[in-house]
A = this chain, B = another copy of it.
């Protein structure tokens, strides 16, 4: 195993220390139990918390800060955080206006966030849980009943983060969260596998001329193992189900995230993005905002995912609002 680490047991803690040192103006880290919180909390604000296994950076810790998350709970690599992490993070950022747990649809995350919400309820903290399940690749999966939660989570964190930041109440922020849940769709693919530090070998085997179409962010199987195709063919294969699942149609405006899985060169992501914009355009779907880069990753996996979210109502106003996190920053 070739990794830039010291010991598999220390990877998450040492990386959290680095995050705090690099972004001490934005965030603070609590190490036991592990959570990342915004450095300067805002009084009376609806608090937004997310979390999940580590190894998907910058998600979620990289999205803690003004205009996005109040707290993130990092689990071990590709492992759900524990209810006590979530409960402690919730208590740390609860400002009395209610708390949202933004959960990606994986069995472990669902179970642990539910336990944490129950624990918080007995502390009289009102928690609303929103489950993101945007991956159109497969219906059920290795670690999931129902669709997996992937790229829409990033867009949702930005949009509801802006809503909470401007002072919307819990009901309003939940409404935006449900909008994002209903209007975001994603699909991914992988050229290569990745290796968990604690395991030491690739999480799946794949041939030199093969790809996994519809892969999950933990390397879960997708729709099909197939031969490598051109970039244009791949984008077209992936964007079609993403567009059609939500019934996106002529005249719709969308936010598009062309996301790298961690090991994909940026030059390839831009090339893929161009095709995605053009193929969506042929269906009359207009890309009005975008992210191109590594936002929800799977360690060093090579591959990419496409996320589209319909930009109705005042979604673009929330998207454009200032954000100041390690992984996303504008307007400030």
* Chain B residue at minimal CB-CB distance from A58: B266
- Bound form: Cα–Cα A22–B291 in Å: 8
A294 interfacial by beta-carbon distance below 8 Å? yes
Q: What is the chain B residue whose CB lies nearest that of A7?
A: B230
CB neighbours (8 Å) of A18 from chain B are: 269-274, 277, 292
Known A191-B2, A231-B4: A273·B22 in contact at CB below 8 Å: yes
**A54 sits at the interface (CB 8 A):** yes
Residue-wise, chain A 276-308 has the 8 Å CB interface mask toward B (1 for contact) of: 010000000001001010100101101110000
Q: Within the oligomer, what is the number of copies of this chain?
A: 2
Q: A18-B274, A21-B274, A22-B273 are known contacts. Are A57 and B6 too (CB-CB below 8 A)?
A: no
Which one of B16, B191, B300, B329 contacts A4 once the chains associate, using CB atoms below 8 Å? B191
Q: Are the CB atoms of B21 and A299 closer together than 8 Å?
A: no
Closest beta carbon of chain B to A13's beta carbon, Å? 9
> How far, in whole Å, are A19 and B267 apart by their CA atoms in the complex?
9
The answer to whether B265 and A55 touch across the interface, beta carbons within 8 angstroms, is yes
CB neighbours (8 Å) of A292 from chain B are 18, 22
Known: A2-B191, A6-B231, A22-B273. A267 touches B302 (CB 8 A): no
List B contacts of A268 (CB < 8 A). 3-5, 11, 15
A294 CA / B297 CA spacing, docked (Å): 14
Taken together as a complex, chains A and B put the C-alpha atoms of A331 and B332 apart, in Å, by: 5
- Among A211, A263, A271, A272, the one with the most B-chain Cβ atoms within 10 Å of its Cβ is A271
The reply to whether the CB of A99 lies closer than 8 angstroms to some CB of chain B is: no
Most chain B CB within a 10 A radius of its CB, from A14, A211, A330: A14
Between-chain CB contacts (< 8 Å), 15 pairs: A2-B191, A2-B302, A4-B264, A4-B304, A14-B270, A16-B270, A17-B274, A18-B271, A19-B270, A22-B270, A22-B273, A55-B265, A57-B270, A77-B267, A262-B265
What is the interface of chain A, defined by CB distance below 8 A to chain B? 2-7, 11-12, 14-19, 21-22, 54-55, 57-58, 62, 77, 191-192, 208-209, 211, 228, 230-232, 234, 262-275, 277, 287, 290, 292, 294, 297, 299-300, 302-304, 329-332
Q: Which 7 A-B pairs have the closest CB atoms?
A: A18-B270, A18-B274, A57-B266, A263-B263, A15-B270, A4-B268, A18-B273
